[in-house]
Amino acid sequence: MIFSPTLNNIEIAISQLKSGNLIGLPTETVYGLGGDARNSDVVAKIFALKGRPSFNPLISHVCDIEMAMQYGEFSKTAKLLAEHFWPGAFTIVVQRKANSEICDLTCAGLETIALRCPNHEIANQIIKGFGAPIAAPSANISGHVSPTSAQHVENEFGDNLSTIIDGGECQIGLESTVVAVFENEVTLLRYGAITIEEIENVIGGRVQIANLKDEKSPKSPGMLLKHYSPNAPLFLDCDKAQEGEILIGFGDMDCQLNLSKTANLQEAAANLYKMIRQADAQKPRAIKIAPIPNTGIGAAINDRLSRAAEK
């Protein structure tokens, strides 16, 4: 059920977490399916409800750097990045602290942990009130389109999720940028709103891009999968649709849905999952998408689209 974000309802969400239940919670990127990151029974429920393969680790959400540093080993560079980009759409993978309370299942048995402090008032109130990290993948069935509104979350899980806190539409609309940081080396694991250039400006050095073929390169298990997919087949770089198909446009063009008439990439990112869902709901023969420039957040949009179009 969807609850408005009153203080009372936020308390309800916190007590659900304390009783070992899952909640749907808003963040600035996408909605999360959250539970106690320390409790393996709870985290097992997250994997089961999403149908997520258990080799794919979850992000632990914290309310500040202090909480993050209780669970991860932050090098100078990791701390610098956290200070610069948190709260925000930025996930940092670091070495797990020895004797960390975070359960193995959250990290899929890896020696590393992914940490993020969301830039969302309600999410932060919930994490702070709960007092420990919340493990939260995007609140969708594994492989589906990510949710950018409370209604999307309800459409995904229905009665199987009793508490969804409504924080309005997600401002960014794409999952966070994920980087691995070991000592001074920063490797991009997932494209997101925060770009490589921004990260390089902060560290004053280069960012590596994870190489799935190189044994030694840090990896993100989630990068390997077909992901973010609607039911209808999706085609990229299109400029028209045939009978029974839907064209999602970008910029000034003739189409049924438009990510941004003014060709604004931020607006396109915020509209992307919503419009893919809208198009899919009409059960078209195919969804076609206009070309998106690969600059700024456009790189993240194209990353998601190429995975969504994967056969």
For residue 87, state whether it binds ligand TXA (rule: CB under 6 A): no
For residue 163, state whether it binds ligand TXA (rule: CB under 6 A): no
Closer CB to ligand TXA, residue 146 or residue 258?
A: 146
Residues 114-143 that bind Mg ion (CB under 5 A): 138
For residue 107, state whether it binds ligand TXA (rule: CB under 6 A): yes
Min dist CB 106 to ligand TXA, Å, is 8
Closest CB to Mg ion: residue number = 138
Min dist CB 147 to Mg ion, Å, is 10
For residue 17, state whether it binds ligand TXA (rule: CB under 6 A): no
Min dist CB 159 to ligand TXA, Å, is 22
Min dist CB 93 to Mg ion, Å, is 15
- Judged by CB under 6 A, the number of residues near ligand TXA is 28
For residue 142, state whether it binds ligand TXA (rule: CB under 6 A): no
State how far the alpha carbon of 31 is from the alpha carbons of 63, 78, 125, 218, 239, in Å.
Answer: 16, 25, 15, 26, 31
Among the listed residues 91, 100, 119, 260, the single contact to ligand TXA using CB under 6 A: 91
Min dist CB 93 to ligand TXA, Å, is 4
Min dist CB 168 to ligand TXA, Å, is 15
Residues 138-197 that bind Mg ion (CB under 5 A): 138
Interface residues with ligand TXA (CB under 6 A)? Answer: 27, 29-30, 32, 56-59, 91, 93, 107, 110, 112-114, 116, 136-138, 175-176, 178, 189-190, 220-223
Interface residues with Mg ion (CB under 5 A)? Answer: 138
